[in-house]
Amino acid sequence: MLKQLLTVFYRNALRAKGTFLIYAIGFSTALTGVILIYLWIADELSFDRYHTPQLYQAMYHQPTAQGIQTSGQTPRFLAPALKADIPEVAMVAIATPQHFFPEFTLSARGQHVKATVKFASEDFFSMFSYPLVTGTPERVLRDKYSIVISQRLAKALFGNNPHPIGESISYSLLSIRQDVVVSGVFQDLPANSSEPFDFVLPFALFEDVAKPAPPDWKFTEPFSTYVLLKAPGNIDRINQKLSHYIQSKDKAATSTLFLKQYTDNYLYGRYTNGKQDGGRIHYVIMFGIIALCIVTVASINFINLSTARATQRIKQIGIQKTVGASRLSLMVQQLGETIFLTLLSLAVALALVKLILPHFNIITQKHLALAPTYRFVLGLMAITFTTGILAGIYPALYLSGIDPAKALKGKIIGPRAGNMVREGLVVFQFTASIIFIVAVIIIYKQIAFVMSTNLGYQKNNLLYFDVDGALVQKTDAFLTEVKRLPGVVQAAGMVGYLTGDGTGLPGSFSYNDKKITCQVLQGTVDMIETLGLTIKEGRGYSRQQDTGQANSRWILNEAAVDAVGEEHVIGKVVDGREVIGIVKNFHVRSLHEAIKPMALVLSPTESMTLWVRIHPGREEQTLASLRKLYATYNPGFTFGYHFIDQTYAQQYASEQRTSALSKYFAGLTIIIACMGLFGLAVFTLETRKKEISIRKVLGSSGREIILLLLRNFTRPVGIAIIFALPVSYLVVRAWLATFAYTVPLSGWYFAIGGLVPLVITGLTVGSVAMTAARANPVRHLRQD
């Protein structure tokens, strides 16, 4: 049976080499794209999945003037309370969240290394699946002055000593300096970890330094609380129990507590007004749909060409039926040929994936690889056989249903038979292509918009770097010297960064019995000028008027004033601080989020980062001078700086990668569709060559013949445009809804989306039609 199947497959391939080539190229190209998407989706779905499903994070719904805000910021005293009050809880841990601190400087044996810290309570390693190379999970954070480091950090600090237990490390951040002892080494975190860190310190040590205020259940704190349940249980029942837990502690509290599975944080991280509103799962779904469309478009090519060329196989099928072949056996033969073709295409696709994967990893910033794991092989076989069956089932049903008597007479299928089905499939192909084209245009325009929009501060030629080492004690003198350097416009110190969660400190203030959540941006006198903020009312900070007034005067942004609800707040005292100025709104988070209330506070002695604005065109010389000055003030430490425009761009790394991938996969879909259209056009013109010759003999011009043939193929594209444009509008509008600030939806984007496939169709079919129109009609009329 297999030998016969392969023989028939080989003979059919030789009989129609051009069609077979289109089949093979289409399937190989489609499978290449689908395999790449499969690898990407599998990696996205794997994030944090190595942790136990019984691990949860405590989340708060907090009613504010701006609506319900949902976050994982919880008070430090929540963890022990849950352990004592909720019997379903086995363990709890409290930890500092990602980006809570700038990088610490660790020193050991004369080595200075920058590394990312996490403070965590004692049960942290017992709850999370971070394997320890050395040490036991229950003990490594028990001592307040212990430290658990990654293998990478151990190698950087201690060289070839893989088990540096008992070794001393000194860490520093601003004025905080501490000697700690290595109690454990954990394996380097895998690439599919959503929260990277290099070392862990006991949370008890953090409490000693931070000196937390007494518990107040009405307020949250910027810490993460993790819960390990004793059994999977019914999380809905537990959350129902927790819905009034905060009020049971303080009736005046307004927050609502619930538990969220930790493994869901990466994919389902976005909330809108207290409701879960997706996250990265939207991109997973989007690329899954793209993969399905690619496979479908390639399968449609096969269906169209297989049914169109059925006239060349009807006698073969008629003879098989006459000698006793059943319809089932003919269907198995046809499906077998299709699946064998997809298996051959799979081999080619795997070779192409191996070539493309390094470049694909650069685009996606991942470390994907073709690993012959059980799951990968199973997924690959599922994709291949699904593609084969999807492509082959209709031709198998169509060809096996032929009447053998009519087939042997060659009367079963004329050149226009099946046109309606094929035209419908072409409509689907180009509908998908048009949606992709419009989506790619809108994504590109939106990314260009967010990268060029006015942020409210001047991000160009603005750099920042951390305060560490000896510089902590000499910040003021260093800043004074920096301002004197040629090429420096202005410089200032700040607490924290200017993008995302690292901006300032989380805080709140009350006014007229209204609690307003805000970010507090602390800095030196020159902070506003250095950042390039615009004073709308009042004034900024000055050395003459505000010296000695640290933390006693506010400067609010427009969003904070709107939240206060009063038009004139200059001179008023809000939460014990006088409001002396209002700055125009400026973006510190991505444009996915609306601008939120922010307060600027003068704090000249606690700078975590230093900011320097450089004259345009003098970057190289100024950086050299800065590097030299830094080495003078902080010997032995590396001058590691970042430009804020690059940091800002990193907030949209996901969107930029999505834009690039969408562009490539949309192009792939269009190419596959055009290949099928080209093959269908060639075959259609081949079957109509006598008709075309007769028309020419009767006086039709080449132009008339070309227009006649083009009309047959542009009609389904026109129908596709009618279907695709409304759908594409809904799709891109849903995507743009994830941004608070968007590019306007111009009609030109949709016009281009419809025009491109029309032009491509014209070029594809027109080239074939011109050849047919120029052919000698006598030669075709003489043929049988």
Map residue 336 onto helix, strand or coil: helix
Euclidean distance between CA atoms 142 and 138, whole angstroms: 7
As a whole number of Å, the CA-based R_g of the chain is 33
Indicate the residue type of 300: I
What's 637's DSSP letter? Answer: S
pLDDT at residue 516 above 80? no
600, 521 in Cβ contact below 8 A? yes
- Axis-axis angle for helices 327-364, 2-15 (nearest 10): 70
pLDDT at 307: 64
Pair of tokens at residue 513: 């019995």
Q: Is residue 772 part of a domain?
A: yes
Q: Which of 501, 710, 489, 724 is nearest to 611 (CA)?
A: 489
| Same-domain pairing of 291 and 364 | yes
Is residue 600 domain-shared with residue 526, that is, in the same domain? yes
Using CA atoms in the order 346, 347, 348, 349, what is the torsion angle rounded to 10 degrees? 40
3-state secondary structure 400-448: HCCCHHHHHCCCCCCCCCCHHHHHHHHHHHHHHHHHHHHHHHHHHHHHH
Residue 184 and residue 101 share a domain: yes
Q: Considering the domain boundaries, does residue 287 fall inside one?
A: yes
- Structural domain includes residue 272: no
- What is the pLDDT averaged over residues 708-729? 83
Q: Are 170 and 134 in contact (CB under 8 A)?
A: no
Q: Do 665 and 283 form a contact (C-beta atoms < 8 A)?
A: no
Mean pLDDT of 529-538: 89
Cα distances (Å, whole numbers) of residue 319 to 212, 402, 408, 473: 89, 11, 7, 95
Q: Is residue 129 part of a domain?
A: yes
Cα separation, 419 vs 405, in Å, equals: 23
Q: Given this model, what pLDDT does residue 417 score?
A: 46
How far is Cα 741 from Cα 450, in angstroms, rounded to an integer?
Answer: 8
Domain boundary among 572, 601, 636: 636
Please state the φ and ψ torsions of residue 557, each to the nearest 5 degrees. Answer: -85, 170
- Predicted local distance difference test score (pLDDT) of residue 782: 56
Number of domains present in the structure of the chain? 3
**What pLDDT band is residue 687 in, cutting at 50, 70 and 90?**
low
CB 580 within 8 A of CB 555: yes
| Domain presence at residue 703 | yes
> What pLDDT, on the 0 to 100 scale, is given for residue 421?
67
- Most confident of the following: 165-174, 269-278, 359-368, 763-772: 359-368
**DSSP run (H or E) holding 484:** helix 475-484
Beta strands in 615-762 (DSSP E): 641-643
Which residues are registered as beta bridge partners of 613? 462, 490
Rounded Cα distance, 57 and 77, in Å: 15
DSSP letter assigned to residue 473:
G
Which pLDDT belongs to residue 407?
54
Say if residue 87 is in the same domain as residue 211. Answer: yes
The string of pLDDT tens digits covering residues 642-681 is 888 887 777 777 777 777 787 788 778 777 777 767 766 6
- List, in sequence order, every residue forming a beta bridge with 94; answer none if it has no partner: 225
Least Cα distance to 342 among 755, 691, 748, 9 occurs for 9
Taking the CA atoms of 599, 605, 607 and 610 in sequence, report the sign of the dihedral they define.
positive
Contacts 24+ apart (CB under 8 A), 293-296: 293/432, 293/436, 293/669, 294/30, 294/33, 294/34, 294/37, 294/665, 294/668, 294/669, 294/672, 295/30, 295/34, 295/383, 295/386, 295/387, 295/390, 296/390, 296/428, 296/432
Residue range 196-228, pLDDT digits in tens: 899 999 998 887 766 666 788 877 888 899 999
Tell me the pLDDT of the chain averaged across its residues. Answer: 81
- Indicate whether 357 belongs to any domain: yes
Do the beta carbons of residue 202 and residue 143 sit within 8 Å? Answer: yes
Give the structural domain span for 729.
Answer: 2-43+282-448+655-782
Q: CA 635 to CA 644: how far, in whole Å?
A: 25
Q: Give the residue from 575, 606, 636 where a domain finishes.
A: 636
Q: Residues 627, 683: one domain?
A: no
Alpha carbon separation from 733 to 431, 438, 656 (Å, rounded): 17, 11, 18
**Encoded tokens for 90:** 């086995």
Asked whether residue 647 is domain-assigned, the answer is no
Residue 242 sits in the same domain as residue 309: no
pLDDT digits (tens, 9 = 90+) for 13-41: 555 565 667 777 878 888 898 899 999 99
Whether 210 and 303 map to the same domain: the answer is: no
Among 603, 636, 669, give the residue marking a domain's end.
Answer: 636
pLDDT of 199: 94
Both 228 and 325 in a single domain? no
Lowest-confidence pick of 170-179, 341-350, 488-497, 767-776: 767-776
Task: Say which residue, 120 or 516, is predicted with more confidence.
Answer: 120
Distance CA 695, CA 609 (A): 80
Which percentage of the chain shows pLDDT scores above 90?
A: 16
Q: How far apart are CA 757 and CA 763, in angstroms?
A: 10
Please choose, from the candidates 335, 334, 298, the residue with its C-alpha nearest in 3D space to the C-alpha of residue 316. Answer: 334
* Structure tokens, 320: 């098989």
Task: Note whether 664 and 629 are same-domain residues.
Answer: no
Q: What is the 3-state secondary structure (H, E, C) of 256-317?
A: EEEEEEHHHCCCCCCEECCEECCCCHHHHHHHHHHHHHHHHHHHHHHHHHHHHHHHHCHHHH
Same domain, 692 and 748: yes
Q: What is the pTM of this model?
A: 0.78
Mean pLDDT, rounded, for 138-165 = 89
CA 412 – CA 423 distance, rounded (Å):
20
Q: Mind listing the pLDDT tens digit for each residue in 410-449?
A: 555 444 445 666 677 778 878 888 888 888 888 888 888 8
Given a cut of 60, is residue 318 above it in pLDDT? yes
Instruction: Give the single-character DSSP code of 165.
Output: T
Token pair, residue 743, equals 């590019």
Please tell me whether residues 15 and 76 are part of one structural domain: no
Closest CA to 441 of 745, 673, 37: 745
Q: How far is CA 345 from CA 196, 352, 385, 738, in A?
A: 39, 10, 12, 38
Burial class (CB in 10 A: 0-12, 13-18, 19+), 248: exposed
CA 123 to chain centre: 32
Same domain, 29 and 66: no
pLDDT in the model for residue 334: 73
Q: Is 475 within the bounds of a domain?
A: yes
Q: For 119-123, 315-319, 382-386, which range has the lowest pLDDT when averaged over its residues? A: 315-319
Judged against a pLDDT cut of 70, whether residue 320 lies above it is answered with no
Q: What angle do CA 224, 227, 231 make, to 5 degrees?
A: 165
**Pairing verdict, β 176-186 and 168-173:** antiparallel
Confidence of residue 3 (pLDDT cuts 50, 70, 90): low
Query: Residue 260's pLDDT band (boundaries 50, 70, 90)?
Result: very high
Distances (CA, A) of 565 to 69, 150, 217, 441, 556: 19, 49, 26, 40, 13
DSSP lists the bridge partners of residue 200 as: 118, 148
Q: Is 288 exposed, middle or buried (0-12, 13-18, 19+ CB in 10 A)?
A: middle
Look-up of token digits 């009807």 = 314
